């Protein structure tokens, strides 16, 4: 896969769209939703966020979620698609932690939300 090119995924269903796309939203989605090491073509792609499903909703878990997301999205900075990334976490109701991801690019800032399941 070429740098900056990802498989298109429908975020509602998780199904492949059959197209290669270069949007930042898709890149963020793939890196946060894919368990680290599970994609055969790029074992370095993904995050450890799936491990938090078994964790209680404590302040420590918010810190882990931010760390896991930053590690997963670091490749966007490394390949030049982003200049920096800021992530904050907030409780989003019973069993959910909401990550607010701000990706800064030469063209501006894009903001994404990502829900993480916790106990």
Structural domains in the chain? Answer: 6-117 (3.10.450.40)
Number of other residues whose CB lies within 10 A of the CB of residue 72: 23
Rounded to whole angstroms, how far apart are CA atoms 12 and 68?
A: 22
Confidence band of 24 (pLDDT split at 50, 70, 90): confident
Let me know: does 63 contact 111? Beta carbons within 8 Å: no
Confidence band of 33 (pLDDT split at 50, 70, 90): very high
Burial 86-108 (b: 16+ CB within 10 A, else e): ebebeeeeeeebbbebebeeeee
User: Is 0.85 surpassed by the pTM of this model?
Assistant: no
Nearest CA among 75, 69, 71 for reference residue 5:
75
Rounded to whole angstroms, how far apart are CA atoms 75 and 77?
A: 5
């Amino acid at each position: 896969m070429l740098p900056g090119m990802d498989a298109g995924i429908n975020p509602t269903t998780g199904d492949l769209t059959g197209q290669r796309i270069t949007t930042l939203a898709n890149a963020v989605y793939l890196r946060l939703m894919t368990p680290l090491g599970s994609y055969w073509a790029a074992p370095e792609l993904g995050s450890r966020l799936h491990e938090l499903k078994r964790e209680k909703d404590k302040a420590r878990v918010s810190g882990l979620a931010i760390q896991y997301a930053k590690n997963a999205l670091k490749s966007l900075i490394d390949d030049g698609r982003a200049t920096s990334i800021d992530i904050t976490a907030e409780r989003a109701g019973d069993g959910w932690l909401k990550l607010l991801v701000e990706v800064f690019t030469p063209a501006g800032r894009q903001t994404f939300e990502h829900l993480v399941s916790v106990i």
